[in-house]
């Protein structure tokens, strides 16, 4: 059993499709063991995406991620990190596989509906960036 960190991004909260995304998560045997709806501050978003700060899309990414509410989650299950990356689909929805969240819901490479940690190590860092251990309640 392990954990990954998820964000349902502003394009999805805006379109009221967070329930549909949660259904895909749960149908794939990941359990939502923590969940909060928040508005990211610019500072928090820049900290979270610090790894991308030299990228040409960084400023647009921060504008977008702070443009509306997001749902932050901790997901738990077998191989949670790898499994969630697979369920999300490719960053660019044009390349996303059938049945993935991004194939079904993403609008474009930026407004791509979800974030998921890309390694076990980053999952731990990202979870502790947003949650206290006592806010995470396993089944």
Q: Would you tell me how many other CB atoms lie within 10 Å of the CB of residue 136?
A: 14
Site string for ligand ATP, 30-59 (x = CB under 6 A): ----------------------x----x--
Q: Which stretch binds ligand ATP (CB under 6 A): 13-21, 27-35, 107-115, 126-134?
A: 107-115
105 is catalytic: no
Give the HSE-up count for residue 139: Cα atoms under 13 Å, Cβ half-sphere. Answer: 10
Distances (CA, A) of 50 to 32, 36, 45, 71, 102: 26, 22, 8, 20, 23
Q: Which of residues 65-94 bind ligand ATP (CB under 6 A)?
A: 91
* Contacts with ligand ATP, residue ranges (CB under 6 A): 52, 57, 61, 91, 109-110, 112, 115-116, 118
Residues serving a catalytic function are 115
């Amino acid at each position: 059993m392990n954990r990954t960190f998820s964000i349902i991004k502003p394009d999805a909260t805006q379109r009221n499709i967070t329930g549909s995304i949660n259904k895909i998560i749960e149908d794939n045997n990941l359990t939502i063991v923590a969940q909060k709806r928040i508005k990211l501050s610019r500072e928090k978003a820049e900290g979270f995406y610090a790894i991308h700060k030299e990228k040409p899309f960084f400023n647009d990414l921060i504008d977008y991620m702070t443009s509306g509410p997001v749902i932050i989650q901790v997901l738990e299950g077998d191989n949670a990190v790898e499994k969630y990356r697979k369920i999300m689909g490719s960053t660019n929805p044009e390349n996303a596989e059938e049945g993935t969240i991004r194939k079904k819901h993403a609008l474009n490479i930026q407004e791509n509906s979800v974030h998921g940690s890309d390694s076990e190590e980053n999952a731990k860092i990202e979870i502790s960036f947003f949650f206290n251990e006592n806010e995470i309640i396993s089944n």
